[in-house]
Amino acid sequence: MDSILIHANTHTYPVYIGENIRFQLQELLPKSYDSILIITDDHVARLYLDDLSNSLEGSSVHTAIIPAGEQSKSIHSFYELHSQAIRYGLDRSSLIIALGGGVVGDVAGFVAATYMRGIDFVQVPTTVLAHDSSVGGKVAINHESGKNLIGNFYSPIMVLYDVSTLHTLPLKELRSGYAEIMKEAFLADEKLLWDVMELDLTHNDNYERIRHLEKGIQIKANTVEQDEKEAGKRKFLNLGHTLGHAIEAELGYGSITHGEAVAIGLLFAIDVSEKEYAINLHADKLFTWLTNNHYPLNMDNVCIEALLKRMKMDKKATNQRIQMVLLEEMSKPVLIEIEDTTLRSYIESFFAKLQNWYGH
Ligand SMILES: NC(=O)c1ccc[n+]([C@@H]2O[C@H](COP(=O)([O-])OP(=O)(O)OC[C@H]3O[C@@H](n4cnc5c(N)ncnc54)[C@H](O)[C@@H]3O)[C@@H](O)[C@H]2O)c1
Ligand SMILES: O=C(O)C(=O)C[C@@H](O)[C@H](O)[C@H](O)COP(=O)(O)O
Ligand SMILES: [Zn+2]
């Protein structure tokens, strides 16, 4: 088992990474709890809930199961989970465990952050994408106007990443998670970038995957430790998300996965960076890798005006002025404000390029 320590503003917590470590949950917890609520979704519950609850002894263990998918990051689920916590009699010394992907982690984390003004929580990520979402303390639910508009910064006391659970992950979700690894690679690790560019996701073995996940977590950790509340440097982790989040909300939460939307946003950000800074960041190679791995990139029926409106709701925007993370060179992110008219023409030419690339 490997571990990475994260130094948050409030406390330091470990991220444990290893095969089958879900069975060691009890012994890895820093203290014992009288009452524990495991929050998970209905897919993950069928696969791993028993393993986790059976590994906890000496506590009253309760479970709350939300429907799988992005639509559960809602005010309705949030309220329902609070109601269940109240019904089970959780108090300030209780623990919430988030067992699942980023959806469970984000909503359960936000419940933990707000239940009785905050109780301990542990992240037990089960997706590739959740190497990103379980670290750094962003917890949130969506609003129909935009992603993660209601939330907080609230760090878990521990992350237990049992990479054996990834064996059951569908290819679509593997793809989704690798979009965030690609993002991290462009931001800070060119070697990782070329490693992943070599990868056929259908033949990816777990040994290689663990190496990629650990590198991604380390990049995230280095960033959030310097700027947890996103006053500056942390905004770089949003590379690809300005357009990505707009696409996700515009197509309807759950129509495409978060990572699939980020992949399109990342390709766009790389394309714009190449134009702004007259450099070659290999957008063409990224496009080839994305199409070889069957990322959905067809934006034919997406309304650009609607996307622009949504991009103004992005948390990096100030006074409705859109800010984007770009790369002025490889591994050198910058945050720049882009005029609406310039952005519109960039999106138009990007969508045209996608059509053109597809045509060949
Ligand atoms: N807080 C953050 O810093 C942060 C970072 C990145 C993304 N996010 C958020 O994370 C969410 C996406 O997370 P996600 O991609 O993990 O999606 P997800 O939680 O919806 O999981 C994807 C699907 O895989 C299933 N699943 C999960 N683990 C499985 C396993 N081991 N085997 C089989 N099926 C499994 C789930 O039931 C679900 O159907 C988005 O809402 C995004 O905004 C948050
Ligand atoms: O941790 C961060 O900071 C990130 O930006 C990571 C993103 O991958 C993640 O999707 C995050 O939830 C986006 O945050 P938001 O503040 O733009 O909603
Ligand atoms: Zn993301």
Model-level ipTM above the cut of 0.95: yes
Q: What is the pLDDT of residue 342?
A: 96
Q: Is 99 annotated as a binding residue?
A: no
Rounded Cα gap, residues 93 and 80, in angstroms = 21
The distance in angstroms from the start CA to the end CA of the chain is: 46
What is the CA(88)–ligand 2 centre distance, in A? 31
> What one-character DSSP code corresponds to residue 167?
G
Ligand 2 pocket mutation, candidates 73, 138, 182, 243, criterion most atoms within 8 A of CB: 138
Q: What is the pLDDT of residue 36?
A: 98
User: Within 13 A of 1's CA, how many CA atoms are on the CB side?
Assistant: 17
Nearest CA to ligand 1 atom 5: 133
What is the band of 205 on the pLDDT scale with cuts at 50, 70, 90? confident
Q: Check pLDDT > 60 for residue 241.
A: yes
Q: Which atom of ligand 1 is nearest to the CA of 43?
A: 37
Q: Which of 138, 121, 142 is nearest to 130 (CA)?
A: 138
Q: Check pLDDT > 80 for residue 359.
A: no
What is the CA(93)–ligand 3 centre distance, in A? 31
Written as one letter, the residue type at 255 is: S
Asked whether 180 lines ligand 2 (CB < 6 A), one says yes
Q: Which residue has the higher pLDDT, 355 or 119?
A: 119
Q: Which of 152, 60, 73, 68 is nearest to 115 (CA)?
A: 152
Compute the average pLDDT of residues 141-154: 95
Ligand nearest, relative to CA of residue 135: 1
Degrees to nearest 5, angle at CA 110 with 109 and 116: 105
Asked if 330 and 186 count as a contact pair (C-beta separation under 8 A), the reply is yes
Q: What is the pLDDT of residue 357?
A: 76
What is the CA(238)–ligand 2 centre distance, in A? 6
Q: 299-331, pLDDT tens digit by residue? A: 988 999 999 999 999 999 998 899 999 999 999
Nearest CA to ligand 2 atom 6: 237
Q: Is 286 annotated as a binding residue?
A: no
Nearest CA to ligand 2 atom 16: 315
Q: Check pLDDT > 60 for residue 360.
A: no
What is the CA(106)–ligand 1 centre distance, in A? 9
Compute the average pLDDT of residues 77-96: 98
Q: 251-307, pLDDT tens digit by residue? A: 999 899 999 999 999 999 999 999 999 999 999 999 999 999 999 999 988 999 999
Residue 359 CB burial class (10 angstroms; 0-12, 13-18, ≥19): exposed
What percentage of the chain has pLDDT greater than the value 70?
Answer: 99
Compute the average pLDDT of residues 67-71: 97
Q: Is 167 annotated as a binding residue?
A: yes
